[in-house]
Amino acid sequence: MKNLISMRDLSKEEILHLMDVTGKIEAGKIVPNMQRKLAALLFFEPSTRTMFSFDTAMKRMNGDTIIMSGTGQTSVKKGESFADTLQTIAQYSDIIIMRSPVEGSARYASEVVDIPVVNAGDGANQHPTQALLDLYSIVKTQGTLENLSIGLAGDLRFGRTVHSLAQAMALFNVKFKFISPSFLKMPQYIKDDLKSQKIEFEEYENIEDNIDDLDVLYVTRIQKERFADPEDYEKLKGSYILERPMLSNVKENLKVMHPLPRVDEIHTDVDNTEFAYYFPQAKNGVYTRQAIISILLGEVR
């Protein structure tokens, strides 16, 4: 593994190895040391969890970070090209972790610089480090990744987290329910991929009638910033809200996950049920990102 750009680049073995390393880091059995290592966090889109958990991960390992949040104070404003900015940052740092609204930008960056690049979200395309922390959260709560029933709900069209997660879970004989308004359905290229891998999925528009047989319900925010026409967003906002009474007949082992930020799609009355897992899920992001950085920098094999 030289870069982490798309879930499609990872084999099942590599994913399982990452899960194993993440578990050992959480348990304190592996203590990676990133002293004198510097991660450059380039975030051209807003972020709370991804940016701060990468920052935390690096600092927990005695490493350090430099952070570019937006382009406001940098020479990008003077007209410097993306390629020149990247090549400069690569002179100072050991690894680049970047988020951008432009699909394919992380792949492009990995072709421009010769240090590892991690995709922390490229437009509506991919968010592989989120998928890995989601997988870790699933294995931690369900004891396995194999043969699970997983519901993906909300914005399946523009949500990059569900694209990466669907591709990752396809390696584990998953059964999917895709729950979304018809405007926000899972893209055809992902469904074609799943079909070619013989993965079962069904599409629904309504949450409450379709969650009782799930092991994981993964809820996502409607991605307002990706809508070409704000009126389309206005029509759909608030149309998917998970509320506590809907959970009365679900399986005991159900976990409700969410990459966060939440807008209104999970009512806060779900937060103190045994099903809610979105905040521990965010914590798992630190261990997962420690594992990702350690493997990419050759500290852990």
Could you list the residues that contact ligand NCD (CB under 6 A)? 49-50, 121, 127, 130, 160-161, 220-221, 259-261
As a 3-state breakdown, the chain gives helix, strand, coil percent values, each rounded to 5, of 45, 15, 40
Minimum Å gap between C-beta 206 and ligand NCD is 21
Q: Which is nearer to ligand NCD, 175 or 226 (CB)?
A: 226
Minimum Å gap between C-beta 11 and ligand NCD is 24
Q: Which of 22, 50, 65, 288 is catalytic?
A: 50
* 38 DSSP β-pair partners: 64
Q: For residue 289, give the nearest of 300, 275, 278 by alpha carbon.
A: 300
Q: Which of 99, 163, 177, 221 is catalytic?
A: 99
The helix (run of H) or strand (run of E) holding residue 180 is none
Minimum Å gap between C-beta 252 and ligand NCD is 27
Q: State yes or no: is 99 an active-site residue.
A: yes
Q: Are 205 and 182 in contact (CB under 8 A)?
A: yes
Q: State yes or no: is 17 an active-site residue.
A: no
Query: 3-state DSSP call for residue 265?
Result: coil
Q: Which of 37, 49, 258, 289 is catalytic?
A: 49
Q: State yes or no: is 163 an active-site residue.
A: no
Minimum Å gap between C-beta 146 and ligand NCD is 25
Query: 3-state DSSP call for residue 15?
Result: helix
The residue number with the shortest CB distance to ligand NCD is: 259
Q: Which is nearer to ligand NCD, 93 or 164 (CB)?
A: 164
Q: How far is CA 168 from CA 151, 165, 177, 216, in A?
A: 14, 5, 15, 15
- Which residues carry out catalysis? 49-50, 78, 99, 127
